[in-house]
Amino acid sequence: MEPKKVEDEAFVTLATDDSYSLGALVLGHSLRKVQTSRSLVILVTVGVSADMRSLLSSVYDLVEEVGEIDSKDEVNLTVLTRPELGVTFTKLHCWRLSQFKKCVFLDADTLVLQNCDELFNREELSAVPDVGWPDCFNSGVFVFRPSDETYKALVQFAEDKGSFDGGDQGLLNLFFQDWATKDISQHLSFLYNMNSNASYTYLPAFQQFGKDVKIVHFLGELKPWKYIVSEGKLMKPSESQHSEDHLQYWWDLYMSHVEPHLQFYQDAPYHELAKVRLESPEPVETSVSQDQPVAPGFISRQEAWEKGEIDYLGVDSFENIRRKLDSKINGTTE
Ligand code: UDP
Ligand code: GLC
Ligand code: MN
């Protein structure tokens, strides 16, 4: 039976392009699977295609278009080594969802494993300490109260003070600067925003507490949708430290609930690129059944090349490029 809907509370996420929308789709399905009683809302910008919006509306109750806000703070984004994260200022629009009394923001690269509706018992601003700097909170998961006033104050603050990492996390931590010390009830358990690399950084704790995790966060540049599938296997790049069970669950949801609806990508340039086969030292066995699924990650590779960010030792290695050229010359599809 469907749980009784709480109309004035919502989980909210954000996507500024079709690539992050794939994460948002899996996230939305993961929330439905745990039978949340709250509404699902996604903020999208002009960069999300019409086809993708219609797919998003099959899982989200509200697909809300917002204007893109970019910090354009190249200096701090370079320090963070994530030049693409200036647009995360767009997250601030979530405070404008004043039809809701309380919301929980979730990054599009999070995945819900267990029902966590109890988060709505917390107050603004509740969040999990950041793994890199625990006196700061990680802004991939937070409880907030929509308010036009707070939105305006945040935008003003962004103009006046900016952000120490060029993204929303550096801004929100400056704005809610007493979070670390004021009220321990606003510190959420790590189980609500478990960095998916934690199984590598602190394996004994992961073995002890891992089964209780409620929300996994695939934080960092490598996202689940950037992995490559070849002959039914998920190819794991050497830099990957994602916990395999969580990665597998992400892909299970993706293959069962998202990929079958992506026919509109048939002619996209990366569908062609998806035929390239890359090898990895550690293939991860998966239950993926398609031979040539859409491999959205190739968009990012292409973009990275265009920006001069070339992974000489990994996917862009001479070996891989030569293999692709050979297959083109010989007319074979690898
Ligand atoms: N995001 C987006 N488009 C972008 C970059 C980020 O929509 O180009 C949104 C998306 O919801 C994403 C969040 O902002 O999950 C934060 O970015 P990301 O998760 O990549 O940061 P990380 O958690 O890896 O630091
Ligand atoms: C982070 C957070 C992410 C945020 C980014 C930029 O590491 O996980 O949610 O958008 O920093 O501030
Ligand atoms: Mn994230």
Reported as a single tens digit per residue, the pLDDT across 33-87 is 999 999 999 999 999 999 999 999 999 999 999 999 999 998 888 888 888 899 9
Residue with the larger pLDDT of the pair 239 and 305:
239
CA dist., res. 89 & res. 108, Å (int): 14
Helix or strand or coil: residue 180? helix
CATH class of 6-272: alpha beta
pTM of the model: 0.83
169 lines ligand 2 (CB under 6 A): yes
> Which mutation among 88, 131, 195, 226 tests ligand 1's pocket best, with the greatest number of atoms within 8 A of CB?
88
**Per-residue confidence band for 247, with pLDDT thresholds at 50, 70 and 90:** confident
Tens of pLDDT, residues 149-180: 999 999 999 999 999 999 999 999 999 999 99
Whether the CB of 109 sits within 6 Å of ligand 2: no
Instruction: Name which of 9-23, 30-44, 54-68, 241-255 the model is least confident about.
Output: 241-255
Q: Residue of the nearest CA to atom 7 in ligand 1? A: 15
12 Cβ inside 6 Å of ligand 1: no
**Is residue 170 left, alpha or beta, with left meaning phi > 0 and alpha meaning psi from -120 to 50?**
alpha
Q: What percent of the chain has pLDDT over 70?
A: 77
Residue 99 DSSP SS3 = coil
**61 neighbors 41 (Cβ within 8 angstroms):** yes
Tokens encoding 261: 């609806």
42 lines ligand 1 (CB under 6 A): no
Q: Which of 68, 169, 222 to mutate to test the pocket of ligand 2 (most atoms within 8 A of CB)?
A: 169
Could you tell which of 22, 85, 128 is best to mutate to test the pocket of ligand 1, judged by most ligand atoms within 8 Å of the CB?
85
Q: What is the pLDDT of residues 98-124, one digit of tens each?
A: 999 999 999 999 999 999 999 999 999
Query: What's the whole-number mean pLDDT along residues 230-240?
Result: 74
| Rounded distance between C-alpha atoms, residue 58 and residue 168, angstroms | 28
Q: Which of 195, 189, 196 is nearest to 248 (CA)?
A: 196
Residues of the chain with CATH 3.90.550.10: 6-272
Confidence of residue 239 (pLDDT cuts 50, 70, 90): confident
Q: Which atom of ligand 2 is least distant from the CA of 82? A: 6
- Whether the CB of 80 sits within 6 Å of ligand 1: no
Secondary structure element (H or E) that encloses residue 77, with its range: helix 74-80
* Residue written as token pair 């979070």: 179
- The helix (H) or strand (E) run that includes residue 111 is strand 110-112
Please name the residues in contact with 197: beta carbons below 8 A apart, sequence gap of 6 or more: 219, 220, 241, 242, 243
Judged by its nearest atom, the ligand closest to the C-alpha of residue 23 is 1
- Least confident range of 86-100, 205-219, 268-282, 307-321: 268-282
For the CA of 163, the closest atom of ligand 2 is 12
Where is 39: in which H helix or E strand?
A: strand 38-44
Give the Å distance between the CA of 333 and the centre of ligand 3.
34
| Residue whose CA lies nearest to ligand 1 atom number 22 | 219
Residue located via tokens 């394996």? 203
With residues binned 3-state (H G I as helix, E B as strand, rest as coil), the percentages for the chain, rounded to 5, are 45, 15, 40
Please check the confidence at residue 88 and state whether its pLDDT lies above 50. yes
Q: Mutation test of ligand 1: which of 11, 16, 20, 226 has the most ligand atoms closer than 8 Å to its C-beta?
A: 20
